[in-house]
Amino acid sequence: MKHLFLSCILLSFFFFGCNSNKGNSEKLDMNQLLSENSEAQELEISEESLNSIIQSLPSPLEIASVIKGSDVPFNEGLLNKTESQENFTTDFEKSLAMGLYSGNLGYINVYEKSYLAIKYLSAIKNLADDLNIGQFFDFETIKRLSENSDKIDSLIYLSTVNFEKMDQFLRSQKRSNLSVLIVTGTWMESLYLATQVVKTKRNDQLIERIAEQKMILDQVLLIVSAYKAEPFFADLLASLGELKTEFDKVTITYNYMEPTTKEVNGRLVIVDNSTTSVTISDEQVANITSVIGKIRARIVSGSAV
Amino acid sequence: MMKKIWFFLLVLFATASQSAFGQCQTDEFLDNCASRLESFTFIKAFNTSMTKTGAEEFSYVFSKGSNYLIIVCDQNNAGERMIVSLYDRNRKLIASSYNPKTKTYYPDILYPCTATGVYYLEAKLEGAKGGCGVTILGFMKSE
């Protein structure tokens, strides 16, 4: 009986005790981490902070929406060709390529080109299968949704949920390095698409969004640097460093003002008076366009990062 | 006999654990919550599950020129609600889904973003025994 009692206590700890510290974990301070990264040669970043940064990076759909808002027609020629899948041989290359295709998918979905969505989702699924994460794709449902242009919202939702599951699985399997490459590739492709569109037609809102990528780049550098002992990551870091040199010339200022809230039809609506303003010259935009273009060309050719 | 008791206990604990925290982790729960996004585009879902009262924090880069909808999705049990608060880059409180003065729980928060940067979302569970919930983030480009 004593043995049984002890077992009950142990079981209680197992089922109810394992999550008990979750809410008390140390809070991530992104500002502090970013300033430490710029000062330190070697910065140890915890798994928890790393995961938090990966989760915090903006969706490719956001920048794609600004691209669409610039009234520039969809350009299939900007996409990374699905045939280039063969160029990616290692898990690192495949993860980075998955990110590029995800960035493309955001652009495709926002322009509601469902006939292309299935082609790019197939490419992503192939790479995901190679990385043993393809099980998170409900491909039959995705295929059905992509055949009906009215279902684009459902397609976007399902694709995003699938990506979330893949990312969570990779991180739970201690394969965060692959998650880092996927989100980095996604971000790079979004930046590439935005710069190419601006080259076609000047749009101040899109230029401002490009300038704001300075903040995202800092976070991307932080997560990539966590694995810089790996030569692939060290090379990627060097490439991103070229981009940082150009982004360092961009200035972003933040002006804090007290926010207020109001209730509208039962919903809490925030009225924020804080602002950010950016200063970026045409030359800086051109330089960023050139650098991201060169890095992206190296990646898609499979020659280097 | 001993083996049967062991098995019974195992099933009991597993079921209790599942019923308390499993419901919010299902696709059905997420799909139901996400349907409240209406015309907003789904970005992310942040899961929260705890065995006692506490808070979890998530961060996301919000961009100027986008409207964000933060949906608070919990099991709607009195005394076990989930409260979501939004903080800016300097951890200054912007808004909370619960107003203690009026004792109002808001099901969602609309944030038209005017300053690009890192924002922090804190999901806090009221009940002493914890519980679970999902915070859903959607966006829409401002006109």
The model's pLDDT over A138-179, given as tens digits with 9 standing for 90+, comes to 878 887 887 776 777 888 888 888 888 898 899 889 899 999
B63 contacts A156? CB cut-off 8 A: no
Residues of B in contact with A27 (CB under 8 A): 57, 120
A216 contacts B17? CB cut-off 8 A: no
Decide if A134 touches B, using CB distance below 8 A: no
Domain for residue B105, yes or no? Answer: yes
Count of the separate structural domains present in chain B: 1
Has residue A260 got a pLDDT over 70?
Answer: yes
Domain for residue B18, yes or no? Answer: no
Look at residue B20 in the predicted model and tell me its pLDDT: 47
Alpha-helical runs (H) found in chain A: 2-12, 30-39, 47-56, 60-69, 91-110, 114-130, 139-146, 152-172, 176-200, 204-225, 231-247, 282-301
* CA–CA separation, A45 and A291 (whole Å): 28
Backbone angles phi, psi at A55, to 5 degrees: -70, -25
Query: Tokens for A58?
Result: 């903006």
Domain for residue B2, yes or no? Answer: no
> Of the given ranges (A7-16, B38-47, B55-64), which has the lowest mean pLDDT?
A7-16
Has residue A199 got a pLDDT over 70?
Answer: yes
* CA–CA separation, A288 and A196 (whole Å): 11
Sign of CA dihedral B25, B27, B28, B32: positive
Domain for residue B52, yes or no? Answer: yes
Mean pLDDT of chain B: 86
pTM, entire model: 0.86
B108 contacts A270? CB cut-off 8 A: no
**pLDDT-derived band at A39, boundaries 50, 70, 90:** low
Question: Least CB-CB distance to A274: which of B49, B56, B114?
Answer: B114
**Mean pLDDT calculated for residue range A53-64:** 95
Percent of chain B at pLDDT exceeding 70: 85
Tell me which residues of chain A, numbers 152 to 181, contact chain B at a CB-CB cutoff of 8 Å: 153, 156-157, 160-161, 164
Query: Tokens for A267?
Result: 């919903």
* CA–CA separation, A119 and A41 (whole Å): 42
Q: Which residues contact A101 (CB under 8 A, 6 or more apart)?
A: A80, A82, A120, A123, A124, A127, A189
B66 contacts A275? CB cut-off 8 A: no
Residues of B in contact with A263 (CB under 8 A): 104, 106
Query: Tokens for A164?
Result: 């979330």
What pairing do the DSSP bridges indicate for beta strands B54-62 and B117-125?
A: antiparallel
Q: Quote the domain boundaries for residue B65.
A: 23-141
**Mean pLDDT calculated for residue range B48-58:** 87
Residues of B in contact with A223 (CB under 8 A): none
**Mean pLDDT calculated for residue range A261-284:** 96
* CA–CA separation, B43 and A136 (whole Å): 17
Q: Which amino acid is at B65?
A: G
Decide if A71 touches B, using CB distance below 8 A: no
* CA–CA separation, A20 and A22 (whole Å): 6
The interface pTM score, or ipTM, of the predicted complex is: 0.84
DSSP class of residue B35 equals: G
Token look-up 């902070």 returns A49
* CA–CA separation, B105 and B72 (whole Å): 9
Has residue A19 got a pLDDT over 60?
Answer: no
B115 contacts A56? CB cut-off 8 A: no
**Contact in structure between A120 and A101 (CB atoms under 8 Å):** yes
Token look-up 């099933």 returns B11
Closest CA to A230 of A93, A120, A130, A109: A93
3-class SS string, A24-55: HCCCCCHHHHHHHHHHCCCCCCCHHHHHHHHH
Q: Half-sphere exposure (CA, 13 Å, Cβ side) for B71?
A: 24
Question: What CATH number is associated with residue B41?
Answer: 2.60.120.380
Question: Least CB-CB distance to A270: which of B5, B52, B110?
Answer: B110
Domain for residue B8, yes or no? Answer: no
**pLDDT-derived band at B131, boundaries 50, 70, 90:** confident
Look at residue A204 in the predicted model and tell me its pLDDT: 96
Closest CA to A54 of A201, A151, A178: A178
Domain for residue B16, yes or no? Answer: no
**pLDDT-derived band at A15, boundaries 50, 70, 90:** very low
Summarize chain B as % helix, strand, coil (round to 5).
25, 45, 30
Sign of CA dihedral B116, A182, A179, A115: positive
Q: Which of A34, A35, A56 to mutate to test the interface with B (most CBs of B within 10 A)?
A: A56
Shortest distance, CA A89 to any CA of chain B (angstroms): 30
Domain for residue B100, yes or no? Answer: yes
Has residue A10 got a pLDDT over 60?
Answer: no
Domain for residue B1, yes or no? Answer: no
Per the model's pLDDT, the better-predicted residue between A258 and B8 turns out to be A258
Look at residue A114 in the predicted model and tell me its pLDDT: 85
Has residue A89 got a pLDDT over 80?
Answer: yes
Token look-up 């949704």 returns A145
> Of the given ranges (A33-42, A116-125, B41-50), which has the lowest mean pLDDT?
A33-42
Shortest distance, CA A122 to any CA of chain B (angstroms): 21
Question: How many inter-chain contacts (A to B, CB under 8 Å) are there?
Answer: 170
Has residue A6 got a pLDDT over 50?
Answer: no
